[in-house]
Structure 1
């Protein structure tokens, strides 16, 4: 990551060559990957076999390497409609799964909690593995629980997921406390104090504005895109993007089709309306249980698969299938993701953008970004639009590592060793 030649171009100045050079010099530091929950659902929490191609997943180790990923924030997601004590237990289970994943592949992965550790892992040819909690419900309204997570290596907390917490409003729930309550402001202050990043993806704009006004360290949006390009409530408004330079934070643009494609978002809304018109219930998804002591994870995975096949995975009824046949699902593209990247750059500036794919967290991805090997495609698209190698490096990892380092510097009582 030597910056002495940033901004120069390779002898071969093709877009693909620029993308490849940027990835060699500053590999991707991705903000959000849901492999841990995919493993819970598909394997009962087993971490075996990820050193080979796993077509049922978006993520495996060979494809991470092919995609130029140098550091990954692994999401330890648990559903936001779980009661908070259950959510805390499930979060510990997911943290355990992710630690087991990292430990199982010491020649490929290395745990990191600081920017220096992440850079050292990358320099040694490992994928630096950091942890992010996706939703404040996992804290069970306890700063003690938050500090315990930090001691287990958690480096960001998304303040909400799809539902409000008692102290913060979500983008996809009815307004509750009007952004952040006094308790929510205390959570932000504690995150800053111990050096854990505040993640504003999934939050309501009122929450974002309150957090940005209160934060004493840079924030991130670990996996969000631009509302001015696609009018989805999970995306970030231009007005909030314009506040990022004053905070120093970064928005990590995501690849979720409904967030990057107006057509995909409209199709999803039309499908929901058709299900309502037909009187069809919402498709339930049950949180996969953790194997009991002594229980074979494969047996739990088979139980989960059977429940999925009988529920969300069941064939649609004929009347809905007719609608699906008449209304094919639109495909999103890397070019549309690039549109969001460029919008975020235009409003927030080059120093305040990054990438957060959300692989293994959605059922569909852009047709030319189908798995974690696809980052070179997006960078090639941006290079074809005139981005230099140095500009691509800012996007891939330089900005996020700066934010991580600055949060460490501003922490008055970090719960992990510096350096």
Structure 2
């Protein structure tokens, strides 16, 4: 146990590759940023910085919204030591897009869950407005590229929990109008261990019509498979690694990784000791495994910073992505595969969801179904 503790650090998509915009250089965009991370072998780390300057990170899960709520004052542009994520560290880590989790504390449901989700959306928007030199709200792939071209980190809303809907498709539409992009299909009676109910399937269809991505991390195999069958847009797993390497309940077995890849979905591997292991090599092992089983177009990154979880010492905050990419380069990853991992796959999924939404809106009116109509 002592050895494990020594290895841990604990704290309180876009188009094809030829569509990628101008680089996101840390030196130009991060005045006062810290020196590059030291490494026993500087060459892979230097190359990692160069690769990430051209193909930055789209981080699939951040707990920063709830972490900031606990602080009386903060300045993310100047730097904030009380959290794992601030603008200087995002730039040092070459992070160009960040998904802000809207997940709620356990036990909230109904109107309380809806209200708490609205409060978190308001908080994220307030934080972004207060830091205009570093952050910019974005809702789609094009806006994330625009933010990057302007030297800002794109802030995307989601994932939110299923409880945020209050079993209302009207609430889902309102949340989408406020910018929600990802909804986790757990924590509601219509998405349970038994799978999706008829109302749950209608939720997925309405998400397709709106361009809201289904997050299946933590969902039952039955819910995952039914979502693959019903959804016309890709699904994502915002915090899932390989169960074959580490038997965490949120990690995916190989058969589901294969099905996720076949459905064009995305497994976003979390940089946490609990799910992937205590070293950067363990995280790289999971990325290797997911890439092999699900395919190179179905793997992405999820920092999972500011969630209260332990991270490998080498990956202690949002500035540390170059260390992970250096490890992958040492293992023989090509730049094209790194580009898919860090940026291209997330952009593809966002673009596909938006294309699907436009097609749905031409032939499907907003659903007026209720849970009583379909599951009553």
Q: Structure 2 length as normaliser, TM-score?
A: 0.83
1:179 aligns with 2:195: yes
Residues of 2 paired with 1:240 and 1:40: CA distance?
A: 36
Q: Which residue of 1 aligns with 2:38?
A: none
Q: Which residue of 2 aligns with 1:334?
A: 280
Cα shift at 1:18: 3.0
1:222 aligns with 2:238: yes
1:203 aligns with 2:201: no
With over 3 angstroms needed to count, the CA separation of the structure-2 counterparts of 1:84 and 1:410, relative to structure 1, is: same
- CA offsets 1:303-355 (integer angstroms, 9 cap, x no match): xxxxxxxxxxxxxxxxxxxxxxxxxxxxx111111111111001001011100
Residues of 1 paired with 2:261 and 2:274: CA distance?
A: 27
Are the counterparts in 2 of residues 200 and 220 from structure 1 also a CA contact under 8 Å? yes
1:240 aligns with 2:240: no
Q: Which residue of 1 aligns with 2:70?
A: 41
With over 3 angstroms needed to count, the CA separation of the structure-2 counterparts of 1:139 and 1:253, relative to structure 1, is: same
Residues of 2 paired with 1:356 and 1:248: CA distance?
A: 18
Q: Which residue of 2 aligns with 1:402?
A: 348
- CA offsets 1:134-166 (integer angstroms, 9 cap, x no match): 310111111111110000001111112xxx311
Q: Which residue of 1 aligns with 2:317?
A: 371
CA-atom RMSD in angstroms: 2.0
Q: Which residue of 1 aligns with 2:5?
A: none
1:198 is paired with a residue whose SS is strand
Q: Which residue of 1 aligns with 2:374?
A: none
Are the counterparts in 1 of residues 16 and 344 from structure 2 also a CA contact under 8 Å? no
Are the counterparts in 1 of residues 16 and 348 from structure 2 also a CA contact under 8 Å? no
Residues of 1 paired with 2:165 and 2:304: CA distance?
A: 22
Residues of 1 paired with 2:53 and 2:361: CA distance?
A: 35
Residues of 2 paired with 1:197 and 1:87: CA distance?
A: 20
Q: Which residue of 2 aligns with 1:303?
A: none
Are the counterparts in 2 of residues 80 and 135 from structure 1 also a CA contact under 8 Å? no
Cα shift at 1:2: 8.4
1:355 is paired with a residue whose SS is strand
- CA offsets 1:11-53 (integer angstroms, 9 cap, x no match): x99322331122111110111001001111333xx5x411233
1:155 aligns with 2:171: no
1:192 aligns with 2:192: no
Cα shift at 1:5: 11
Are the counterparts in 1 of residues 159 and 215 from structure 2 also a CA contact under 8 Å? no
Q: Which residue of 2 aligns with 1:168?
A: 191
Superposition pairs for residues 287-302 of structure 1, below 5 Å? none
Structure 1 gap ranges (5+): 7-11, 170-174, 262-331, 415-419
Q: Work out which of the two has the higher radius of gyration on C-alpha atoms and give 1 or 2.
A: 1
Residues of 2 paired with 1:239 and 1:407: CA distance?
A: 24
Q: Which residue of 1 aligns with 2:95?
A: 69
Of stretches 13-22 and 405-414 in structure 1, the one that deviates more from structure 2 is 13-22
Q: Which residue of 2 aligns with 1:413?
A: 361
Are the counterparts in 2 of residues 29 and 72 from structure 1 also a CA contact under 8 Å? yes
Are the counterparts in 1 of residues 239 and 250 from structure 2 also a CA contact under 8 Å? no
- CA offsets 1:162-205 (integer angstroms, 9 cap, x no match): xx311112xxxxx3xx0111111111111011111111112122
With over 3 angstroms needed to count, the CA separation of the structure-2 counterparts of 1:2 and 1:90, relative to structure 1, is: closer
Superposition pairs for residues 316-327 of structure 1, below 5 Å? none
Are the counterparts in 2 of residues 30 and 357 from structure 1 also a CA contact under 8 Å? yes
Cα shift at 1:364: 1.6
Residues of 1 paired with 2:19 and 2:75: CA distance?
A: 39
Structure 2 gap ranges (5+): 1-14, 21-40, 363-376
With over 3 angstroms needed to count, the CA separation of the structure-2 counterparts of 1:129 and 1:205, relative to structure 1, is: same
Superposition pairs for residues 256-405 of structure 1, below 5 Å? 256-261=272-277, 332-405=278-351
Superposition pairs for residues 93-172 of structure 1, below 5 Å? 93-160=119-186, 164-169=187-192
1:185 is paired with a residue whose SS is helix
